Amino acid sequence: MNIKTIRAAVMLLGVVASQAWAGRPLGTDDAATADLGTCLLEAWNERTGSDRALIAGFACGVAKGIELGVDYTHPHPRDEVRGESGLALKWVPESWSHETAAGKWDLGLKFSTAFEHPAHRSWRHAEASALVLSTLTPSDDWTIHANLGVAHSRDAHRTGGILGVAAVWTPAEPLLLFTEVLANTRSQVFGGTVKTAGARWWLIQDVLGLDLTASRESGSSATLWSVGFGWYGISF
């Protein structure tokens, strides 16, 4: 499996599944933001075969219901791309939260742009995306996230639809288990459908968690593994 393909799919769908965490270990984003005056830090290492990447993301609540985030990817080897970065704005108005017969339903929007640093060239704009975010909480043990939107590739001059769906189960604190599917309508541009399963273990509940995930792209027999952490509620 090509690590750049999976990393691009994850970036398109956002940088989530529980009450307090925002991106890791999911690629599907939630309809929630960091509280005003607080930030989060997430970092992880991806590996498949001899390809590796170290990724870090930082986001802060800058107003009620508004979150700004940045991320940076350091790949290895760096023969073609020396680095990648992204910027994102997430907006989740309080008025878009609803109590339904199926549970609490929250909606939001996310706008992202991605950049890359090709070898022997300067930084350039690579991709942009816009997503509708949806989070349904049918019970204390289950959360379901869905993302639907569009992404545009600068190099390919193509725009495609993107979809992410994730289900998160909390069998017992401090453990979270999840499964997820990331898909798009232009696999020749953004890569094939990616299926992921993983877990988070809270070292400090809702503050510091460790993650382990395994992902596989359609048409590939290789598995991409990632291990990382998330630190939440950092005040500024």
pLDDT value at residue 140: 94
Of the candidates 139, 60, 150, which has an alpha carbon nearest to the alpha carbon of residue 109?
150
- Would you say residue 176 has pLDDT above 70? yes
What is the share, in percent, of the chain residues with pLDDT greater than 90? 85
Domains, the chain, in order of start with CATH, read 3-235 (2.40.160.40)
pLDDT value at residue 215: 95
Query: What's the whole-number average pLDDT of the chain?
Result: 90
pLDDT value at residue 23: 63
Q: How many CB atoms neighbour CB 91 within 10 A?
A: 16
Among positive and negative, which fits the CA dihedral 18, 29, 201, 36? Answer: negative
pTM of the model: 0.90
How many residues are listed for the chain in this entry? 236
Contact 8, 129 (CB under 8 A): no
- Would you say residue 99 has pLDDT above 80? yes
Of the candidates 57, 13, 19, which has an alpha carbon nearest to the alpha carbon of residue 39?
57
pLDDT digits (tens, 9 = 90+) for 18-51: 333 346 789 999 999 999 999 999 999 999 988 9
- Would you say residue 172 has pLDDT above 90? yes
How far is residue 24's CA from residue 56's CA, in Å, rounded to a whole number? Answer: 10
pLDDT value at residue 25: 87
- Would you say residue 193 has pLDDT above 70? yes
Structure tokens at 215: 């992902």
Mean pLDDT of 82-110: 97
Structure tokens at 163: 């979809």
Q: How confident is the model at residue 1 (pLDDT cuts 50, 70, 90)?
A: very low
pLDDT digits (tens, 9 = 90+) for 40-94: 999 999 999 889 999 999 999 999 999 999 999 999 999 899 999 999 999 999 9
pLDDT value at residue 79: 87
DSSP-assigned beta bridge partners for residue 105: 98, 136
Output the CA–CA distances (angstroms, integers) from residue 162 to 10, 85, 128, 150, 184, in the order listed: 11, 20, 12, 6, 4
Contact 172, 159 (CB under 8 A): no
